[in-house]
Amino acid sequence: MSEKEKRDLGEWYDANFDEELLEERVAAIDLCFDLNQTRQSEREKRQQILQQLIGKAGEGLEVISPFSCDYGYHIHLGKQVFINTNCYLMDCAPITIGDHVFIGPHCGFYTASHPLNYTMRNAGLEKALPITIGSNVWFGGHVVVLPGVTIGDGCVIGAGSVVTHDIPANSVAVGSPCRVISTIDQDDRTR
C-alpha cells in the first residue's frame, strides 16, 4: 500500500519522506505562492489559480492573501465562503466547509496529528483525520480546529478558540479548549 493510500485510510503514513506526497505538496505550495503574488483586484486570475488548487470551490469564493494549504485537492468548499488573511488549511485529510461560512484572519484547520513517541515522529509518521464544517458558520480570528472535528450548521466560534472536539449545530463556542457557552435561536433576530 502506498503512503498516500495509508493517509487516505486514516492510518500512520510517511508524510515527510514519501516522494509522491512531497511532489504534491510542492505543487500546492507553488499554486499558493502564485495566488499570494496576485493583487486582490485580479479576480479572474485569482479564480483560475483557486480552480487549479482547490478540490471543490462553490461560487462566490473569496480568499484574502496570504493563504496556504498542503495539497488543495482535499479542500471542498460550498458557495459564498469567505477566507480572511493568513489562513492555513492543512488538508492531509479532507476539509469540507459548507455554504456561507466566514473564516476570520489567522485561522488554522489542522487535519494531521503526530505520534507522541519521538522515534516515530522523527521517522516522519503522521495520521490525518477529516474536518467537517456545516453551513452558516462564523469563525472569529485566530481560531484553531484540530483533526477529526465536526462543527454543525449555524455555529459561531469565538476568536482565539482551539476546537478540540465536535460542536453541535447552532452553538456559540469559545475558549481553549473550545466549549459551548450558549445556543442560537436562528428565529431570534434581536441578537
Residue 90 belongs to a domain with what CATH number?
2.160.10.10
Query: Domain limits at 134?
Result: 3-183
pTM of the model: 0.95
Cell representation of residue 138: 462564523
CA distances for 102 relative to 15, 33, 82, 86, angstroms? 30, 23, 5, 14
Question: Which residues are catalytically annotated?
Answer: 114
pLDDT in 10s for each residue of the chain, 191 residues: 999 999 999 999 999 999 999 999 999 999 999 999 999 999 999 999 999 999 999 999 999 999 999 999 999 999 999 999 999 999 999 999 999 999 999 999 999 999 999 999 999 999 999 999 999 999 999 999 999 999 999 999 999 999 999 999 999 999 999 999 999 998 887 76
- Nearest CA among 142, 141, 174 for reference residue 155: 174
Domain assignment present for residue 143? The answer is: yes
Domain assignment present for residue 190? The answer is: no
